[in-house]
Amino acid sequence: MIIDIARQIALKKYSGNFSFDYECPAELILLPSAGISGKVKVEGEFEIYEDDSVGVRLKVSYLLCGVCSYCLEQASKRVEYENDILYLTEDDGENYSYNGFKIDLTTAVNDAVLFSQPQVLLCRPDCRGIEIK
């Protein structure tokens, strides 16, 4: 999950694409009794600007599986999330920073997984919850 910025500049390649699968740490899943089935698919593109900042468009997609938050039946949801990120060579407290040579996307991907999760996981959109008879 590294973009070698110094190499890209040496090759006079100031933009590009990336794609990889990521094994997400289980502790990033916020919903109880839920998990990611398989790996997180990460895709994106980057552009290196004249001031050495780097713009990254990041897209993550994964299958979240677990129990329905309302009725406790099995449930799953395909999650897709896109985010535009700016990497700077100096830490400004608002953007991601990098050392001027290589960008490690791990933190941004972990943040994308955290931000993308639904607050509830439903077995179907019209689930009414546990029915007591």
Residue ranges making up the domain that contains 99 = 2-116
How sure is the predictor about 129, in pLDDT bands with cuts at 50, 70 and 90? confident
Per this entry, what is the length of the chain?
133
Segment 46-60 shows an average pLDDT of 96
CA 59 to centroid of chain Cα atoms: 6
User: Token match 């009794």: residue?
Assistant: 33
In a domain, 130, yes or no: no
Tell me: the pLDDT tens digits for 65-97?
Answer: 999 999 999 999 999 999 999 999 999 989 999
In a domain, 131, yes or no: no
In a domain, 93, yes or no: yes
Tell me: the pLDDT tens digits for 19-37?
Answer: 999 999 999 999 999 999 9
Distances (CA, A) of 14 to 46, 48, 70, 95: 8, 5, 48, 20
77/62 Cα distance (integer angstroms): 8
In a domain, 128, yes or no: no
pLDDT of residue 58: 97
Q: State how many domains the chain has.
A: 1
Residue 133: pLDDT above 70? Answer: no
In a domain, 74, yes or no: yes
User: Token match 């552009």: residue?
Assistant: 47
